[in-house]
A and B are shown apart, each in its own frame.
Chain A
Amino acid sequence: MECGLVEDRLSEYVERTLPHEEMVRVAEHLQECARCQGLMEEIRSILVTCQAFPSYEADVELIDRVLLRTSGRPRSRSLRERLRAYFLRPILTPRFAMGVGLALLSAALLVDLMAPRVGTLASTLTPGELLSRMDRGVQQIYSAGLKLYDTKNEYQTQLSFFKNNLMHKLGFMIEQLDVPAEGNKKPDEQKQPEKVPAQPKKSSVLLLPA
């Protein structure tokens, strides 16, 4: 087979769509002709490279634009898309991402400054240290209870003192009020003996007939 005829059949040979007999004849020629063999390899390489080209999805915004410019109705969105548009779109912005990043950085710095050192704590976790810490804790609780009890007693004492004082003062005031009332009375009214109705003397005289 001549080179020209082989060239005419190279695509079909590469795609394996030639009849069997022609496939064999082309293959025989390719074994003998380096130029045609090179062309065949090149075509095969072109096909492989073309197949590796990616296929792109049309952007949903492009579809939206098309629909708006044709039917005038926007694309119908699924619930998920609507939720995403409502909740996630405001969040997925560079400004929000920067804010979150800064907040995380601040929190990390704060934790680093304020949090107890775990390594240091772990080194002090011996039984003796634990017991002494527990003892100190119990003592603190006990002393806090005592303080509370003292405070309660103090308030109670003050309250009773205030109450007694008030009662005394009230009693005194009442007494003071009573004294002038007696002083204003007339001397003869001061002590007026109760008039006892004179009872007829039971004398023997009166009993006598006139």
Chain B
Amino acid sequence: MLPGDEKVVERCLQGDDAAWETVVSQYAKRIYNLSYRYTSRRDEAEDLTQEIFIRVYQNLKSFRSESGSFQNWIMRVGRNLIIDHYRRTRRFQQAAGTEEMENMNLKDEKVASPQRIAEQSEAARFLGDGLQALSPELKEAIILRDLEGMPYLEIAELLGIPEGTVKSRINRARLELAKLLTKRRAQAGVQI
């Protein structure tokens, strides 16, 4: 739990609006990005972010600091809502959105050449297509670990499974994706 999170939650429960604003400002980016990774649509991600925070606000009383960090609790609420959303809509779009892939730049290159940007966009599109072919469980593993950069332990807490299972699931997801991409690349005859 981040320092002061527990106190902030207590203040929220006492009706302190400023404390609630702190919580929203602190976690909005993370929740929004998580929603966007799953839905690949900005409008859907915004709607989901709103729903998640409403759910968090309504269920603040049920948070127990003994059972995990507040951050993980929020992420769990968010993930559950996202899964519900998926079940309702029955479609899981590619984990990385089209807009995102088109606008993607290398983080380690301050000024990327147009050719490099084009190559990266193509690689991202290729990866997004591959992710779409994975099962929701494996796709989720890639999203949480490789796109969101969450530690194994947090993923284990979030999903409610042992850390070893998380590791093996992530490895399986990466392997499947790698095999799939290798196969597709061989079929397409492209070098990315």
A204 at the binding interface (Cβ < 8 Å): no
* B-chain residues with CB within 8 Å of residue A51 when the two chains form the complex: 107, 146, 149
Q: How far is the CA of A162 from the CA of B149 in the complex (A)?
A: 104
Q: How far is the CA of A191 from the CA of B126 in the complex (A)?
A: 143
A71 in contact with B147 given A42-B182, A46-B127, A58-B29 (CB within 8 Å): no
Query: CB within 8 A of A12: which of B32, B124, B142, B171?
Result: B171
* B-chain residues with CB within 8 Å of residue A66 when the two chains form the complex: 24, 28, 49-50, 53-54
A75 at the binding interface (Cβ < 8 Å): yes
Q: Mark A1-20, 1 if CB is under 8 A from B, else 0.
A: 00000011111100000000
Count how many pairs of residues, one from A and one from B, have CB atoms less than 8 Å apart in the complex.
113
A140 at the binding interface (Cβ < 8 Å): no
Q: Is the beta-carbon distance between B21 and A53 smaller than 8 angstroms?
A: no
Chain B interface residues toward A at CB < 8 A:
17-18, 20-21, 24-25, 28-29, 31-33, 36, 46, 49-50, 53-54, 57, 96, 100, 103-107, 120, 123-124, 127, 142, 146-147, 149, 167-168, 170-171, 174-175, 177-179, 181-182
New contact pairs (13) apart from A38-B182, A67-B20, CB-CB < 8 Å: A10-B171, A11-B174, A12-B167, A46-B146, A52-B120, A52-B124, A53-B96, A55-B29, A56-B33, A58-B29, A58-B31, A69-B54, A75-B25
A-B contact pairs, 18 of them (CB 8 A): A9-B171, A11-B175, A42-B179, A47-B174, A52-B104, A52-B105, A52-B120, A54-B103, A54-B105, A56-B29, A58-B29, A62-B46, A66-B24, A66-B53, A69-B54, A71-B21, A73-B17, A75-B21
